[in-house]
Chains A and B, each alone.
Chain A
Amino acid sequence: MKNLIQLTIFLPFVLFAQTPEKVPPVSGGTKKEADKSKSLEEKKLELVRFDKIKKVLEEDQLLEEANKKVKKASFKGRKRADWNKRRYNIPNEQDFWDFISELWLVKRASQLQWDFEKPNYGLELAFKKFLEKMGHYEVSFKILVVNSPRIFHMGLPSNKELIFVLSLPFLRTMDLSKSEICLLLFEDFKRIKAALFKNKIKVPQLKKMVGSNFYNKKTFNKKIIDQTLNHYDEIVFNKGFNFQEQFSVTQQMDLMLKSDLKDWSKYYNLLQKIDDLVKNNALFKDYNKIYPSAELQMNWLRPKSKNI
């Protein structure tokens, strides 16, 4: 009876008590939003402050139950705060490059002219078989055919599904067969695997940003993304790859294709075709700037003759 009287006296004070400090605060949104996302236990805990009625609870042997409730509410609060923090995650290495490569394609849609009606060339089937022949299994890939001579062929940085871009004017002018296109794609495949493109993107703070979190920062620095997209432009349209990188790719191709001389000679003939095109067609004269150079690649491939 005594306890009941005490409880009725304390209850009004308890009901209008302030928010306890133990519940972790929620940031990253307005107070209204934070209140909305609170769990029932947390809301109850805001109304009832068990520490103020500790004596009554002790006498009623309810202290253990009250502690349980406080623990449960604080656990839920921490979980919610953690979830809220995770929402500010920046994609990790695995997710970032696939996303940013697609973002670049989307942002440069008008320059690259990829949104046009085209038949199904069956390239995906041919390249799938080629990869399997070369012993590369479980490789997911996407091929985008563009209607622009500004880009020739390129493997964009990607992890989960490899992204390849092919220029239709380039393929048509060269009159390439499916197996020759596969060889070009395989060259790009080797470049992606060696992260040649990715390593060329030297945007300050990009490495630090990938896989981090911007919960405590006020805003996300979008400039880093814009700079990365500009670096993509620079590599795809102007700089391309250097001699050293080309040499290593050509050597790898040589090593892979030598097991089937038919493929090896096809690759050699392809380089010859490219060399002829670059030398005779002004529209594709920049090819050597991006991939230096077909002529040199042929030299590297040619067996060295020994003087006796």
Chain B
Amino acid sequence: MKKIILLFFLTQASAFANSNLRLLKISYLKNTFGHIHQNASRSSTSLTTLSCGHPIKVYEVTNKAGQKFTTFASGFYYVSAGNYYGYIQSSFLVDKKPNCFQKKYPKFFDALSLEITDFYYWGRLYDQYSQGKSTVK
């Protein structure tokens, strides 16, 4: 009986979570490494580190007032990758699978024997960059 009650609450909880989110698209990480953040800020806690080309689900979020959001403060998407739900900068994602460095030079990349700390910092590096591009007027 206890199990049934527990299952009931769990299904209710997940149903509530799903009603606020609508899958918008599946995008891919274009940077060498990247982080999914707890909040829509580049200095926010990292939930997980992802490698280039990792598929990421981008959601449209509906709040209690019924307003729909796709991008949050300073260009963040609400996304999920595996079991992790959080925020990532929209400029880090592309709609087509990118030509990643790791895929282009897999054995060279493996030979460098990078550690988990390096992966983490590499993701942070992209969060810390201020990126720009000059264009023709």
Contact = CB atoms under 8 A, between A and B. Distances in A.
A283 B122 CA distance: 29
Interface in A137-178: 137-145, 161
A117 B41 CA distance: 10
Interface size class of A (residues with CB under 8 A): 35 or more
B75 to A, nearest CB: 11
Contact of A89 (B108, B121, B137): B108
A161 B117 CA distance: 24
Interface residues of B, number: 27
B43 interface: yes
Contacts of B104: 89, 91, 95
Majority-rule SS of A interface residues:
mixed
Interface in A168-216: 214
Nearest to B134: A131
A145 B42 CA distance: 14
Given A106-B121, A115-B124, A115-B128, A132 B106 contact: no
Contacts of A107: 118
Nearest to A119: B43
A91 B99 CA distance: 13
Contacts of B82: none
A232 B25 CA distance: 41
A26 interface: no
A88 to B, nearest CB: 5
Contacts of B134: 128, 131-132, 136-139
Given A161-B131, A222-B113, 14 more contacts: A87-B106, A99-B101, A102-B125, A120-B74, A128-B133, A131-B134, A132-B134, A136-B134, A140-B131, A141-B132, A142-B131, A144-B130, A220-B108, A225-B112
10 contacts: A88-B108, A91-B104, A102-B32, A106-B121, A107-B118, A120-B130, A132-B135, A137-B134, A161-B131, A222-B111
